[in-house]
Homo-oligomer: A and B are copies of this chain.
Amino acid sequence: MRGRASYVRGGNLIELILVQLFVLVLLARVAAFLCEAIKFPALIGEILVGIVIGNTVLFDVLHLGTDIEVFSIFAELGVIFLLFAIGLETPFSELKKVGGTAALVAVLGVIFPFAFGYILIVSFGHPEVEALFIGAAMVATSVGITARVIKDLGKTHTIESRVIIGAAVIDDILGMVVLAVVSGVAGGGALDLVDIVIVAALAVLFVVAVVYVGTGLLPRARDRAKGTKASKRIARLHSGTSSLALALIVCFGLSALASYVGLAAIIGAFLAGMVFAEFRDIMPVAERFEPINEFLVPFFFLFIGISVDLASFLDVAVLALVVTGLAIATKFVGCGLGAYKLGPKSAAVIGVGMSPRGEVGLIVASVGLSIGSISAGMFSVVVAMSLLTTLVAPPLLTYTFKKTGRGGVR
């Protein structure tokens, strides 16, 4: 029995993990509750608790160093399920209506941060390659934060929400292309255009294929089969508990595939949710996903906080603040311009909603760090930028959403 060691270790490990879970869930819930009491988004409380845990003696008292990987998995699954839930409330037909706007938002939201980020860093006297990497790290929106705020505010069905989500999908593809280009330039060799085209084409193909099969072919097949014997048999199969299992399988499968073609796993999860949105008549899974999300999603925000090292921020504080300001301003202007035809208030929501940068920017920066193109100090700047944009966005988003002064447009 292979399990002997793991069973016995499991005995000790699970005791520790239970204590950690107890403390983490308790603190996160109390902080979320206090935030809600003063009308702040709950995730701010969760991130702040994470920062406190990560930067005080609590981190060692809880022995979080020994199994941080387990909680990083909880965090990743949390954000994957969160995007799946957002997908569930975003039928493709609705997304299609805002496709043009979303594309414009995404493109301008990539060009502005990249160009101005590059110019800023060069003007500070840094090498061009470093400036290219910082520009690239400022490109990709991390939609997890915005998604949570939208969900907590009950605004999933608004046009702003759909433009943001649609733009985030396109943005992720563009971010990948930018990273490929910048790495190519930094590598010193000629840009391998063929490589870049293949990488981008694979990502686009994945998204188009999922959308075509999941929201076109399958629903049509379902409609044709309606009332037939086979359809009734399938409906019986899906009765009871198995639709949740099917949703999990599709969500894991498409998330893994998205990650495999170079997109963020959460993009795959979002697409999976969108596919299930087409089948909510026979497989209503949204309600059954909620408790799973309530358990796992807070770990994503706790983990963001735990990952913050306050001490290292102080060394690069000035440049970090300048870059963060620029990161917010360029997304706000770029995405806002792209969405301007929806009116200034909606454009403001979209500009703010696209501003959080997260793990994608960090991955870009760590690629730069690993090939020696950016310095350790500059890496801390990127970390600070991705954290500060994440912290600033939720209250701004809540504020701008309230200014639009209406509910969903369903």
Write the residues of chain A forming the contact surface with B, with a CB cutoff of 8 angstroms.
1-4, 6-11, 13-15, 17-19, 21-22, 25-26, 29, 33, 54, 67-70, 72-73, 76, 80, 241-242, 244-246, 248-249, 252-253, 255-256, 259-260, 265, 288-292, 294-295, 303, 306-309, 312, 359, 362-363, 366, 379-380, 383, 387
Determine the residue in chain B with the shortest Cβ distance to A68.
B6
Asked whether B14 lies within 8 Å of A249 as measured between CB atoms, the reply is: no
Q: With A259-B15, A291-B244, A294-B245 as known contacts, state yes or no: A307 contacts B359, CB within 8 Å.
A: no
B3, B26, B76, B387: the one within 8 Å of A1 (CB):
B387
| Alpha-carbon distance A3/B289, docked complex (angstroms) | 28
Contacts of A288 in B (CB 8 A): 290-291, 294
Roughly how many angstroms separate A291 CA and B10 CA in the complex, as a whole number? 24
**A14 and B363 contact, CB distance less than 8 A:** no
Are the CB atoms of A14 and B291 closer together than 8 Å?
Answer: no
- Point out which of A253, A290, A291 has the most chain B C-beta atoms below 10 A from its C-beta: A291
CA–CA, A245 to B31, complex, Å?
Answer: 12
Instruction: Say yes or no: A70-B70 contact (C-beta < 8 A), given A1-B309, A363-B11.
Output: yes
Q: Given that A1-B307, A256-B22 are contacting pairs, would A6 and B69 also be in contact in the complex, using a CB cutoff of 8 Å?
A: yes
12 further A-B pairs in the complex, CB-CB below 8 A; given A4-B379, A14-B72, A15-B256: A1-B387, A3-B307, A7-B307, A11-B359, A13-B69, A22-B252, A25-B245, A29-B249, A69-B69, A241-B294, A289-B291, A291-B291
* Residues of chain B within 8 A of A379, CB atoms compared: 4
Q: Could you list some 11 contacts between A and B, CB below 8 A?
A: A1-B312, A3-B303, A3-B308, A6-B69, A8-B362, A10-B76, A14-B73, A18-B80, A18-B255, A19-B252, A69-B69
Q: How far is the CB of A101 from chain B (nearest CB, A)?
A: 30
Once the chains bind, are B252 and A380 in contact (CB under 8 Å)?
A: no
Q: Which residues of B contact A363 (CB under 8 A)?
A: 7-8, 11
Q: Are B7 and A359 in contact, with the CB atoms below 8 A?
A: yes
In the bound complex, how far is the Cα of B13 from the Cα of A7, in angstroms? 23
The answer for the CA separation of A253 and B19 in the assembled complex, in Å, is 7
A306 touching B2, Cβ below 8 Å: yes
A336 to chain B, nearest CB (A): 29
Inter-chain CA distance A289–B241, complex, in Å, is: 13
Return A133 CB to nearest CB of chain B, in Å.
15
Smallest CB separation, A113 vs chain B (Å): 20
Within the complex, what minimum Cβ distance (angstroms) separates A256 from chain B? 4
Q: Which residues in B have their C-beta under 8 angstroms from that of A70?
A: 69-70, 73
Chain B residues in 8 Å Cβ range of A362? 1, 3-4, 7-8
CB contact under 8 A between A308 and B1, given known A10-B76, A76-B14, A363-B7: yes
**A1-B387, A253-B22 are contacts. A17–B306 as well, Cβ < 8 Å?**
no
The docked-state distance in angstroms from the alpha carbon of A26 to that of B256 is: 14
Give chain B residues whose Cβ lies under 8 Å from the Cβ of A244: 291, 294-295
Give which listed residue, B4, B242, B248, contacts A366 with CB less than 8 A: B4
Residue of B with least CB distance to A359: B7
**A13: which B residues are within 8 A, CB to CB?**
69, 72-73
Closest to A59 in B: B2
Q: Which of A3, A8, A76 has the most CB of B within 10 A?
A: A3
> With contacts A306-B2, A362-B4 known, is A18 near B259, CB below 8 A?
yes
Residue contact A72 to B22, C-beta cutoff 8 Å: no
CA distance A18 to B260 in the complex (A): 10
Tell whether, in the assembled complex, residue B18 and residue A256 are in contact, meaning their CB atoms are under 8 Å apart: yes
With A and B bound together, what is the CA distance between A9 and B380 in angstroms?
A: 18
Q: Which residues of B contact A312 (CB under 8 A)?
A: 1
Chain B residues whose C-beta falls within 8 Å of the C-beta of A256 in the assembled complex: 15, 18-19, 22
Contact residue among B2, B10, B248 (Cβ-Cβ distance under 8 Å from A54): B2
Contact A366/B7 with A14-B76, A291-B288 known, Cβ cut-off 8 Å: yes
